[in-house]
Chain A
Amino acid sequence: MTKEIQKNKILLASQKSKISKIIINAKNLERVYFNGVIKTYALKNISLNIKEGEFVAIMGPSGSGKSTLLHQLGLLDIPTKGTILIDNKDVVNLSDGERTKFRLKKLGYVFQSYNLIPELTALENVYITPMAQGITTEEYKKKARDILKKVGLGDRINHYPSELSGGQQQRVSIARALVNKPQILFADEPTANLDSDSSRETVKLFRQLNKEIGQTIVMVTHELEEGKKADRIIWVKDGILDVDKK
């Protein structure tokens, strides 16, 4: 019994030390779209920090810039101004090739419309990124099988996306995002195309991953109920950081 308590204390201490480290540091982010001479500000002067092991929800009304913010933090787009440090590395000024490598090794993505490759089975969709890292066939297949089992799709590994339900496809997409053990998992409205049961399951899975393995998660959502499941909600309105609260 004493041993058990001690083990829990150590675990909690390691979680706390993890949480104290800042993994994302964004300063004065600005994203402007140019249409001829017309400038449209999608993001204006946004600064934020996200700690390692945090589960953060980015919320706001439609067109507020929440997805744009996620795309900047997740290296899918380049901000017009400002800096982003991920794990103390300046990621704004990386070359195209370096950004790709960084995404492969450090980041994972879950999109609103799953965005699986239709020609690949669930297993193949998941092992394509570890395969690209150059590990052995046995290793990447095992990794992919294990993670698919973890998201509850152990019996669907050889199915193509067209043979899976929306919820199942989203779970494959989560497995793909997690297979390389990314430092940060980015999820862009992951429940928007799902029914309420699947939505609940997906957010529950995120919470579970965050708690069990300390996975840092940055999730865009417009559902307050889902946002409340996160450690913290960052509110964005008209491209400006509105409220940032626990």
Chain B
Amino acid sequence: MNKKDLKVIAFLAYKNIVKSKSTFLVIIAVMAMSFLSITFFAAIIDGLGYEFEEGMIEGLTGHLMIEPTKDNLYLENVDTLVKNIKRIPGVVGVAPRLESSVIAKYKNTEMGVPVFFINPQDEIKVSNFHESILLGDYLSEKDGNELIIGADLVQSYAQEDDTQKRLNINVGDTIKLSLSNGFVDEYKVKGIFKTGSKFSDDKILLNYGEYNKIFHTDDVASKILIKLPERGSEDYYKQKIIDLGVSDQINPWQTKMGAVKQFVGSLQITNKITGFIGLLTAFATIYIIIFINVTNKRKQIGILKAIGIKKEIILGSYVLQSIMYGVVGVIVGNLVMQGLLVLLTLHPLAMPIGDVIPILTTERLITTSVTLIFASIIAGFFPSRKAANDNILDAIFGG
């Protein structure tokens, strides 16, 4: 293969493409649709998984969570520890929490509910409760006998066919809370929140000081949640916290996912299987379309051979066309996908777990692009090699 051969290859490929625009456009459309069908569904699943994890991070774990060692019920000297961690450059927020459970009673309905005792100002930097208020207001430091409650505990926010027990309350109503140490008091509903995460919306939030009042504790916490600038920096900040002399458990969010980890893991496996099947389907579709296209050009391939055009040139021109189909199809598919991602970032998909933004990972983008381009090259290579190897007379006269 030399320069003059490459010139003829490029010339024949170019002429075939520009003169058969409709074929070119159909193949590009199929390539682009194949790209979309593989990446879009996968991106939704990835977005869904991300949303589940984010729900846990925003509501329950932060990026890092400091917990007492096995033998201790509480973290101690929390005020100092929180101040020190806040001083670490890059840390977005630090929020101590105390956890308990209560029996909540409103009129004739009584149910066990987990409770977080939070520091409202610290929580603003760590969790999303403050921006998830549906009705009423978020807690303030001064609130004593006031609480905010998750929408999943409120009757008026239940789905029609949901028979789970809920409190038929509204903002301004008063709920009686009974705690494990026998403490009973009435709390006014200040607000109702809905974060979209099932792990957060079934909680009642009270002020941090209430716990100390009820359990007579001081400067303790059940856990400290730490918000970092981004996922992936957990190890770096964990080391920084260890360097402060913290001997308690410092756990990254991944270790706290539990059922979510299993669920997201299952989603990812499903995603891999459907992605693989999608790639196979796209491969087969593209192969068939290019195969038919090349087979229809069998006579021309025979003519070119008859007039003295080398087999390698003919083969090269069809492979080059296939590369063009692959590359342009993937680029078009990619552009449409990026457009959809922008659109769905501005207007996320409303799903029962919350708003989901599709996520297209670089790995998936590369795998899909390379596979589709590879499929189109294979699809162009084999039938055109067969046609180029055919007997000239059979190719021209259809033997």
Q: Say which residue of A77, A111, A132, A177 sits within 8 Å of B310 (CB atoms).
A: A132
Tell me if B7 and A76 are in contact (CB < 8 A). no
Judged by a CB distance under 8 angstroms, whether B331 is at the interface is no
Tell me if A103 and B19 are in contact (CB < 8 A). no
Judged by a CB distance under 8 angstroms, whether A12 is at the interface is no
Judged by a CB distance under 8 angstroms, whether A104 is at the interface is yes
Shortest beta-carbon distance, B168 to chain A, in Å?
75
Which of A115, A128, A132: most chain B Cβ within 10 A? A132
Judged by a CB distance under 8 angstroms, whether B393 is at the interface is yes
In the complex, chain A residues whose CB is within 8 Å of the CB of B8: 128, 131-132
A126-160 contacts to B, CB under 8 A, are 128-129, 131-134, 160
Judged by a CB distance under 8 angstroms, whether B286 is at the interface is no
Question: Which residue on A lies nearest to B391, using beta carbons?
Answer: A77
In the complex, identify which listed stretch (B233-241, B269-277, B298-306) lies at the interface while the others stay far away: B298-306
Judged by a CB distance under 8 angstroms, whether B350 is at the interface is no
User: What count of chain B residues pass the 8 Å CB interface test?
Assistant: 27
B170-225 contacts to A, CB under 8 A, are none
Expressed in whole angstroms, the Cα–Cα distance for A119 and B11 within the complex equals 11
Tell me if A118 and B396 are in contact (CB < 8 A). no
Tell me if B309 and A119 are in contact (CB < 8 A). no
Expressed in whole angstroms, the Cα–Cα distance for A105 and B309 within the complex equals 10
Judged by a CB distance under 8 angstroms, whether A165 is at the interface is no
Judged by a CB distance under 8 angstroms, whether A204 is at the interface is no
Question: Which residue on A lies nearest to B313, using beta carbons?
Answer: A132
Judged by a CB distance under 8 angstroms, whether A36 is at the interface is no
Judged by a CB distance under 8 angstroms, whether A100 is at the interface is yes
Q: A131-B7, A132-B8 are in contact. Are A100 and B391 (CB under 8 A)?
A: no
Tell me if A111 and B15 are in contact (CB < 8 A). no
In the complex, chain A residues whose CB is within 8 Å of the CB of B20: 119
Tell me if B19 and A132 are in contact (CB < 8 A). no
Judged by a CB distance under 8 angstroms, whether B308 is at the interface is yes
1/0 contact string of B279-322 vs chain A (CB within 8 Å): 00000000000000000000110011111111101000000000
Q: Say which residue of A100, A104, A111, A118 sits within 8 Å of B300 (CB atoms).
A: A118
Which of A101, A103, A160: most chain B Cβ within 10 A? A103
In the complex, chain B residues whose CB is within 8 Å of the CB of A133: 4
Shortest beta-carbon distance, B295 to chain A, in Å?
16
Tell me if B309 and A104 are in contact (CB < 8 A). yes
Expressed in whole angstroms, the Cα–Cα distance for A120 and B304 within the complex equals 12
In the complex, chain B residues whose CB is within 8 Å of the CB of A71: 393
Expressed in whole angstroms, the Cα–Cα distance for A221 and B4 within the complex equals 37
Judged by a CB distance under 8 angstroms, whether A124 is at the interface is yes
In the complex, chain A residues whose CB is within 8 Å of the CB of B310: 97, 100-101, 132
Shortest beta-carbon distance, B296 to chain A, in Å?
11
Sorting the interface of chain A by its residue count into under 10, 10 to 19, 20 to 34 or 35 or more gives 20 to 34
In the complex, chain A residues whose CB is within 8 Å of the CB of B303: 111, 115-117
Expressed in whole angstroms, the Cα–Cα distance for A107 and B306 within the complex equals 10
In the complex, chain A residues whose CB is within 8 Å of the CB of B392: 76-77
Expressed in whole angstroms, the Cα–Cα distance for A131 and B7 within the complex equals 8
A194-222 contacts to B, CB under 8 A, are none
Judged by a CB distance under 8 angstroms, whether A4 is at the interface is no
Judged by a CB distance under 8 angstroms, whether A225 is at the interface is no
Question: Which residue on B lies nearest to A182, using beta carbons?
Answer: B308
Tell me if A134 and B306 are in contact (CB < 8 A). no
Tell me if B393 and A129 are in contact (CB < 8 A). no
Expressed in whole angstroms, the Cα–Cα distance for A36 and B19 within the complex equals 42
Tell me if B304 and A117 are in contact (CB < 8 A). yes
Judged by a CB distance under 8 angstroms, whether B16 is at the interface is yes
Question: Which residue on B lies nearest to A134, using beta carbons?
Answer: B4
1/0 contact string of B12-26 vs chain A (CB within 8 Å): 100110011000000
In the complex, chain A residues whose CB is within 8 Å of the CB of B11: 128, 131
Shortest beta-carbon distance, B3 to chain A, in Å?
8
Shortest beta-carbon distance, B300 to chain A, in Å?
6
Please name 7 pairs of A and B residues whose Cβ atoms are closer than 8 Å in the assembled complex, sorted by A.
A76-B306, A77-B391, A100-B309, A104-B309, A115-B306, A131-B7, A132-B5
A77-B392, A104-B307 known; 16 new pairs, CB 8 Å cut-off, are: A76-B306, A76-B392, A97-B311, A100-B310, A101-B310, A103-B308, A109-B307, A115-B299, A115-B306, A128-B307, A128-B309, A129-B309, A132-B4, A132-B5, A134-B2, A160-B19
List the 10 closest A-B pairs by CB distance, nearest first. Answer: A104-B308, A134-B4, A119-B19, A103-B308, A119-B15, A115-B303, A132-B8, A76-B392, A119-B16, A117-B300
